[in-house]
Amino acid sequence: MAMEITQVLLSAQSPDGHTRTLAEANLKQFQEQNLPLFLLSLSVELSSEQKPPESRRLAGIILKNSLDAKDAVRKEELTQRWVSVDPSVKSQIKESLLRTLGSSVSDARQTSSQVIAKVASIEVPRREWQELIGLLLNNMTQPDAPAPLKQSTLEALGYVCEEVSPQDLEQDQVNAILTAVVQGMNQTEHSSEVRLAAVKALYNALDFAQTNFENEVERNFIMKVVCETTVSKESEIRQAAIECLVSIASTYYEYLEPYMQTLFGLTANAVRGDEEPVALQAIEFWSSICDEEIQIQEEFGEDNGESSSPHSNFIKQALPTLVPLMLETLLKQEEDQDQEDGVWNLSMAGGTCLGLIARTVGDAVVPLVMPFVENNITKGDWRSREAATFAFGSILEGPSIEKLARLVHSGLEFLLNAMKDQNSHVKDTTAWTLGRIFEFLHSAAGEYPILTATNLPHIMSVLLESIRDAPNVAEKVCGAIYFLAQGFEDAGSSSSMLTPYLGDVVSALLSTADRTDPSNVRLRSSAYETLNEIVRCGSIPETSNMVAHLLHEIMNRLSKTLELHIASSEDREKQGDLQALLCGVLQVILQKLSNSNETKPIILQSADQMMILFLQVFACRSSTVHEEAMLAIGALAYATGPEFAKYMQEFYKYLEMGLQNFEEYQVCSISVGVVGDICRALDDKVLPYCDGIMSQLLKDLSSPMLHRSVKPPIFSCFGDIALAIGEHFEKYVPYVIPMLQGAAELCSHLDVNDDDMQEYGNQLRRGIFEAYSGILQGFKGPKAALMVPCASPLLSFIEAVVRDKSRDEEVTKAAVAVLGDLADTLGPNTKILFKDCTFHMELLGECFRSDNDQLKETATWTQGMIQRVLVS
Amino acid sequence: MSLRPTTRAEARKKSYKVAVDAEEARWRREDVLVEMRRSKREENLTKKRCEAGPHHLGPPPTHACGMKIDNLSEMAEGAYSEDPAVQSSVITQFRRLLSDGAHIEEVVKAGIVPRVVEFILRHEAPMLQIKTALPVLRRLIHLNDEEVLVDACWAISQLSRGSKDRIQAVIEAGVCPKLVELLSHPSHKVLVPALRTLGNIVTGNDVQTQAVIDANIVSPLVQLLQHAEFSVRKEAFWAISNAIHGGSNCQIHCGALSVKHIRFLVCQGCIGPLCDLLAYPAPSINAVCMECLDKILEVGEANKHLGITAGRNLYAQMICDCDGFNKIESLLAHGNVVIYNMAVNILERFWVDDEEDIQDFD
């Protein structure tokens, strides 16, 4: 029998902290002592009409939180606990929940519909609570059902559809839900609350309607009802109906043809005349159509002429009317929209849609947009000038370079002058447009050079001037410089036109990063990332002095972050963010300078200092390591080689801390990668640290909490360690081999129909092969015999992988390599195995037929190794 | 599940007027590091794979004798020093002596050659160093000392393994004529690595294969394939199969030259010994054998269509004459499905017209 908990629930919401804490502790104790009774009591509270609404609401919320959690592990735990509750208790709870849908208290009804969906999300996939849908539909069909009951029932149906997947419901259940929902949308019969709940439920149910959309009669009916609902008198209902159209556009694109004429009319009216939230959804409808057509084009390759277009060309057909519709919206800017985050209005959505239209149809958009640009760009009011510029910037991706190059040439000078416009918004958009020109049209090696020795001086002086403008403008200027530098990356020759300006550009970016204007949080990271691009794309040795100076400046800045006064966790976070940006620059510099023997000494001279800084950055935090500093250390290890040994003693504890942190799996994954870097830098000098590292890696692998993406890199890391320490790896073999064999077993059980799992399976296989390769090559010599017992299982695993159609080329390469390693290290021991199998010949044949030279070379080596075994 | 309206709006907002996408830049930076790791890992493994396995080199000699150079015995000890720096400097000096050619006898007598060879193999994977190692090795294969010959031949076989660039370096070092000459050496210890090297070279392109054919490899190779002891026969077989398959690594360019090679191999009598190996009790050898015959038969078919063989596949006839047809037929009874399929395939493609009762095979 349920317990009376009203008072505790009320106390838990008391303004008095002490009372609250006590009540929360009481609830927790109750929950731990007797979960079924606790849940039952909550449901009774929620369903009791005589109880105060406050206690009922909280009861519902606690009930909901006892069934679901964001964290996947916690969620699974809650699911198991619910499953193990006595069925009679569960059915009492569910009965209370369903009863509450008819409550006179709206809070109780709403909470109950959410809890019902949570229970359904656990039970329906297990083929339990099969009567739920029927019971809910019953509420809808009772002739005397009150409106509030219908509303909350529709909400419950909507939530249930959101929680469960289409395969969990039978088609007749889906049909019944759709019928109930569509009837609920009927204007003449229902109140606006019921109709709104119905449209929202329909939105969630659309994913279930595949079969219904395939059927023309049912599809026509659904579309008719949705279209009618887009012109309801309540704007919230109109908005929800167009949201349904957006979802239909992306889920059922292929069925839209007969309705497009109507849909264009409806959405055009909404864009032109409806309230903003409705108009925004109408624009989103067209953006979603663009997304679909772009995706289809990408999947099927560029269309080979008019006749063989892979999709219905809705955008192309609507182009003459659609483009003007979007151009109109561009003039509806808000005063300070570029200085505030979180704004989303018609001009922004319209410009976004125009950009997508350009990507969908390419050249065809240009003649429709250019007259608007030319008419407005010189007008007196800033809205016209900004809209014209935004329109031009939006169509720079999609059309051919041939088509755009002439326009850009004749417009560039104008744009550069517009960076002195009196309106900040115009300058912002102009700078962004310049960035887009450089991003999509500028390539030093390209056929239509946009940047020439003649226009570059003007461009650079404008950019260096405007980077000091308002933060939002400066951020766009950073973007322009970023793509400008990128376009010179493939210049090929040792000298780039940009080099003479780099000194000024770098100091301008450093000053920009130092700006203290508070209004643009992205400016600082934009400035540093632009700096990175300059370093990355610069040609060595031309820029090596500049980079060396920058190295010292950045180290200086990093050292200053250590002196920052930290008073709050917010200060700590800011310090960490800045350190991340600076370590990022150091990574790029390290990689750039390590690439050439001439510049490597620059790093080596500063290596000690850099390492001290990184260690200090680590020391700023207690619980977790700094990811970017960790990555920078990986880059440093490659540059220093065996010299890195002297840092190990200090560094080791942070490395271990990173490896232990499997809750933050990126940190763990980065640390695992750095172990590999260090192994390659130190070779057998890494030996003193291997016990610690190996035991941590093995611990990670045994943890059920470890994010699966970290497993493949850990396996590869075993290979790195084994290769570095050779026969000293012997003592880890009894632990590592079972792990590898377990993972190999797992590979055969992955769901091949799931793309993500297929990709994961390939990563896992490669990791396993790389582990074996490292171990086998590391043991080549007197200890080789240790691996003899693994040979046969490994060969079977390779064969299984070779037979698997989902393997990618990287896996194939790792497979053929490990096959050679097996023959190379174990020699005549494997003769009997190879003599009686033939799959390796097919594999080698496949490799020889491939276009990948590396693969062929590896296969040649493997063939030699196997041959040697066979003739031995 | 299609996206919630709020999620869609968030995604659009995020891509609105993006200037520098810091998130993507960071992601790309990490990606560069991951790529670098991958290539370094690959490089280290490759280096290790080029080190000789333990079963290649003879045991290090225990003593040195009869030196004419003052510190030769000291140097010889240094070559086995624990200190890698000492080792490396000593070996470098020996290599210099060997390259000069003046003191070659003394160095050989010091018993140091295996160590030098081992060192070369362990440390000299990159192309440039192969080119510096080969002159030393070329001198060594001209010596009469069997032990030295064995080690040097193995070393060259290692260096010739892998890419076309390596093969080219070996050809350019001018060792092919001597290696072919060594095919008449009485010891199988010399024959095996010499054959291995030549077999490696014919995995290269057509021009590279032509270089060893020009050095008259084929006739001694066919001889060995017929009469040598089995470890040598298998090695010769492998070299022949590589020569026949020369074109299969580059099917598109498999042109006139590789067809010419196959015709030449047939003229020199390779069909007989290949047919003999069809009966050898190892499926891997049988399979390679059938692949070779398949290639030969294809060329025979091409000859037929050229109209130079009176409308017949003469090579098919030659295979029948060598009892090859019967042997392939008996492979139909082989338990291995790959072997069975290959046999069926050959018989159907090249003999089905003559043999009405081919259906019985199924």
How far B86 CA lies from chain A's nearest CA (Å)? 19
Which residue of chain B comes nearest to A352, CA vs CA? B16
Using alpha carbons, list the distances in angstroms from residue A868 to A772, B61, B234, B235.
Answer: 20, 25, 10, 9
Which residue of chain A comes nearest to B165, CA vs CA? A857
Query: Distance between alpha carbon B120 and the CA centroid of its chain, in Å?
Result: 19
How far B168 CA lies from chain A's nearest CA (Å)? 14
Give B41's contacts in chain A (Cβ within 8 Å).
Answer: 676, 680, 716, 719-720, 770
Q: Identify the weakest region by mean pLDDT among A201-210, A542-551, A828-837.
A: A828-837
Give B17's contacts in chain A (Cβ within 8 Å).
Answer: 338, 428-429, 432, 476
Q: Is the CB of B192 less than 8 angstroms away from the CB of A871?
A: yes
Cis, peptide link before residue A36, omega less than 30° from 0: no
Q: Is the CB of B5 less than 8 angstroms away from the CB of A870?
A: no
Which residue of chain B comes nearest to A595, CA vs CA? B36
ipTM score over 0.85, yes or no: no
pLDDT (mean) for A147-169? 92
Q: Is the CB of A533 less than 8 angstroms away from the CB of B26?
A: no
- The whole-number pLDDT of residue B148 equals 81
The C-alpha torsion from A361 through A366 and A368 to A369, rounded to 10°, is 120
Q: Identify the weakest region by mean pLDDT among A836-845, B231-240, B346-355.
A: B346-355
- The whole-number pLDDT of residue A228 equals 94
Give the closest of A207, A777, A838 to B48, CB-based. Answer: A777
Q: Distance (Å, rounded) from C-alpha B321 to C-alpha A294?
A: 64
Q: Are A312 and A256 within 8 A, CB to CB?
A: yes
Q: Distance (Å, rounded) from C-alpha A820 to C-alpha A455?
A: 57
Q: Is the CB of A281 less than 8 angstroms away from the CB of B283?
A: no
- The whole-number pLDDT of residue B243 equals 83
Q: Identify the weakest region by mean pLDDT among A449-463, B34-48, B79-93.
A: B79-93
Q: What is the DSSP string of B172-186?
A: HTT-HHHHHHGGG-S
Q: Is the CB of B29 less than 8 angstroms away from the CB of A532?
A: yes
pLDDT digits (tens, 9 = 90+) for A221-277: 999 999 999 999 999 999 999 999 999 999 999 999 999 999 999 999 999 999 999
Percentage of chain B surpassing pLDDT 90?
7
Q: Is the CB of B45 less than 8 angstroms away from the CB of A856?
A: no
Give A168's contacts in chain B (Cβ within 8 Å).
Answer: none
Give B336's contacts in chain A (Cβ within 8 Å).
Answer: 838
Q: Are B73 and B94 within 8 A, CB to CB?
A: no
- The whole-number pLDDT of residue B251 equals 38
Q: Identify the weakest region by mean pLDDT among A511-525, A532-546, A778-792, B290-304.
A: A511-525
Interface size, chain A vs chain B, as Cβ–Cβ contacts under 8 Å = 166
Which residue of chain A comes nearest to B339, CA vs CA? A838
pLDDT (mean) for A43-71? 93
Q: Is the CB of A631 less than 8 angstroms away from the CB of B30?
A: yes
- The whole-number pLDDT of residue B245 equals 77
Q: Is the CB of B17 less than 8 angstroms away from the CB of A432?
A: yes
Confidence of residue A480 (pLDDT cuts 50, 70, 90): very high
Tokens of B221: 């190779």
Confidence of residue B131 (pLDDT cuts 50, 70, 90): low
* Model confidence at B174: pLDDT above 60: yes
Give A250's contacts in chain B (Cβ within 8 Å).
Answer: 2-3
**In chain B, count of helices (H) and strands (E)?**
20, 0
* Model confidence at A575: pLDDT above 60: yes
A777 versus B185: the higher-pLDDT residue is A777
Q: Is the CB of A348 less than 8 angstroms away from the CB of B16?
A: yes
Mean pLDDT over each residue of chain A, to the nearest integer: 91
Give the closest of A284, A530, A719 to B8, CB-based. Answer: A284
* Model confidence at B135: pLDDT above 90: no
Mean pLDDT over each residue of chain B, to the nearest integer: 77
Give A870's contacts in chain B (Cβ within 8 Å).
Answer: 234, 282, 284-285
pLDDT digits (tens, 9 = 90+) for A592-638: 999 888 899 999 999 999 999 999 999 887 666 788 999 999 999 99
* Model confidence at A138: pLDDT above 50: yes
Give the closest of A251, A530, A638 to B20, CB-based. Answer: A530
Q: Is the CB of A352 less than 8 angstroms away from the CB of B16?
A: yes
Give the closest of B22, B163, B234 to A529, CB-based. Answer: B22
- The whole-number pLDDT of residue A569 equals 86
Residues 6+ apart with CB under 8 A from A771: A715, A716, A718, A719, A722, A736, A740
* Model confidence at A304: pLDDT above 60: no
Give the closest of B13, B51, B287 to A838, CB-based. Answer: B287
Tokens of B26: 């960071």
A356 versus A492: the higher-pLDDT residue is A356
Which residue of chain B comes nearest to A862, CA vs CA? B162
Instruction: Please name the residue that has the structure tokens 């008198």.
Output: A233
Give A247's contacts in chain B (Cβ within 8 Å).
Answer: 2
How far B235 CA lies from chain A's nearest CA (Å)? 7
B277 versus A256: the higher-pLDDT residue is A256
Q: Is the CB of A351 less than 8 angstroms away from the CB of B51?
A: no
- The whole-number pLDDT of residue A690 equals 96
Percentage of chain A surpassing pLDDT 90?
73
Q: Is the CB of B37 less than 8 angstroms away from the CB of A784?
A: no
Residue B180, Ramachandran bin (φ over 0: left; ψ between -120 and 50: alpha; else beta) = alpha
Q: Are A786 and A835 within 8 A, CB to CB?
A: no
Q: Distance (Å, rounded) from C-alpha A568 to C-alpha A316?
A: 56
Q: Is the CB of B53 less than 8 angstroms away from the CB of A827?
A: yes
Instruction: Please name the residue that has the structure tokens 């963010």.
Output: A577
Q: Is the CB of B53 less than 8 angstroms away from the CB of A824?
A: yes
Q: Distance (Å, rounded) from C-alpha A391 to C-alpha B161?
A: 60
Residues 6+ apart with CB under 8 A from A608: none
pLDDT (mean) for A73-102? 93
pLDDT (mean) for A86-92? 94
Q: Identify the weakest region by mean pLDDT among A549-563, A800-814, B277-291.
A: B277-291
Q: Is the CB of B339 less than 8 angstroms away from the CB of A584?
A: no
* Model confidence at B357: pLDDT above 70: no
Q: Is the CB of A478 less than 8 angstroms away from the CB of B20?
A: yes
- The whole-number pLDDT of residue A831 equals 86
Give the closest of A591, A820, A838 to B338, CB-based. Answer: A838
How far A178 CA lies from chain B's nearest CA (Å)? 17
Give A352's contacts in chain B (Cβ within 8 Å).
Answer: 12, 15-16
Q: Distance (Å, rounded) from C-alpha A452 to C-alpha A444?
A: 9
Q: Is the CB of B45 less than 8 angstroms away from the CB of A774?
A: yes
pLDDT digits (tens, 9 = 90+) for B4-28: 888 888 899 989 999 999 889 888 8
How far B100 CA lies from chain A's nearest CA (Å)? 31
- The whole-number pLDDT of residue B248 equals 46
Percentage of chain A surpassing pLDDT 70?
97
* Model confidence at B263: pLDDT above 90: no
Confidence of residue A811 (pLDDT cuts 50, 70, 90): very high
- The whole-number pLDDT of residue B65 equals 27
How far B15 CA lies from chain A's nearest CA (Å)? 8
Which residue of chain B comes nearest to A856, CA vs CA? B249
Give A351's contacts in chain B (Cβ within 8 Å).
Answer: 16
Give the closest of A338, A584, A860 to B162, CB-based. Answer: A860
Helix pair angle (B84-100, B72-79), 10° resolution: 130
Q: Is the CB of B231 less than 8 angstroms away from the CB of A281?
A: no
Using alpha carbons, list the distances in angstroms from residue A25 to A18, B300, B340.
Answer: 11, 91, 75
pLDDT digits (tens, 9 = 90+) for A650-707: 999 999 999 998 888 889 999 999 999 999 999 999 999 999 999 999 999 998 888 8
* Model confidence at B354: pLDDT above 90: no
Q: Are A389 and A333 within 8 A, CB to CB?
A: no
* Model confidence at A166: pLDDT above 50: yes
pLDDT (mean) for A561-582? 90
Query: Which residue out of A577, A833, A860, A869 would a mutagenesis test of the B interface target, given it has the greatest number of B Cβ atoms within 10 Å?
Result: A860
Give the closest of A251, A435, A780 to B53, CB-based. Answer: A780
Give the closest of A247, A352, A676 to B12, CB-based. Answer: A352
Q: What is the DSSP string of A708-749?
A: GGGHHHHHHHHHHHHHHHGGGGGGGHHHHHHHHHHHHHHHTT
Q: Distance (Å, rounded) from C-alpha B362 to C-alpha B350?
A: 16
Give B22's contacts in chain A (Cβ within 8 Å).
Answer: 522, 525-526, 529
Give B8's contacts in chain A (Cβ within 8 Å).
Answer: 246, 284, 288
Which residue of chain A comes nearest to B54, CA vs CA? A781
Among A510-514, B109-113, B140-144, B250-254, the range of highest mean pLDDT = A510-514
